[in-house]
Structures are given as structure tokens and as C-alpha cells.
Amino acid sequence: ELKVEQNPLFLSMQEGKNYTIYCNYSTTSDRLYWYRQDPGKSLESLFVLLSNGAVKQEGRLMASLDTKARLSTLHITAAVHDLSATYFCAVDSYSGTYKYIFGTGTRLKVLA
């Protein structure tokens, strides 16, 4: 069974600090996705990582993918309050049809 695990589940950090969220998955997959969800809202796509070694950056967020280790990281640099949200990673799985498996989510709270 394909599993996607994120840690930490909850993260409270001070503004200006750096931190990393980890996403481990249990099967071979070359594609990994990061999403952001604000309270009561839908999911917003942040990054699509399509191959081993892929690195993408947008503002204070940087995501990377190591398919050999089955690990993706979402690094937060100099956190600001606006980054407070829940972050999900997901991988796709193909067995005749594509479906996506989501991680448990990391609830991030950035304190002023």
C-alpha cells in the first residue's frame, strides 16, 4: 500500500526563522506535488517536482525531490506570518489509471 508521511504534523515557528518539512513516500514515483491550504479553503498548488534532483523555489519556499531516497523537502526561509497554513505533499500512483496519495499535512503557524 502506498503511504505518504509528512513530518512534523504541527510546526510553530518564529518569524524570521528557517525550517524544513519532510515528505516520505513508500513506493517508486517520479512526480511529487506540494500544496498549500488556508483554513476553510481549497488546495492551492505550490510546486510540481517531476524528476530526481528537481528543485523549485518561489519566494521563501523551496522544494526538492530525491526519488532514490523517496523523500521531498519543503524548506522555509525567513518565515513570515503569511506562510501560516497547512502544507500537503502528494505523489501519483499508476496501476492502469492515475490516482494521487496525499500526505497527512503539516500545519504551520508562524508567530510574529
**Chain positions contacting other proteins, by CB under 8 A:** 31, 33, 35, 41-45, 48, 50, 88, 90, 92, 97-100, 102-105, 107
Nearest to 110 by CA among 24, 25, 36: 36
Of residues 43 and 77, the one with the C-beta less far from other proteins:
43
Q: What torsion do the CA atoms of 18, 105, 101, 72 make, to the nearest 10 degrees?
A: 10
88 three-class SS: strand
The nearer residue to other proteins, 50 or 80, going by C-beta atoms, is 50
Q: What are the residue ranges of helices labelled H in the chain?
A: none
Shortest distance in whole angstroms from residue 54 CB to other proteins: 11
Closest contact distance (angstroms) between CB of 33 and other proteins is 6
Q: Comparing C-alpha atoms, which of 31, 5, 13 is closest to residue 85?
A: 13
Nearer to other proteins, 34 or 83 (CB): 34
**CB of 4: closest distance to other proteins in angstroms?**
9
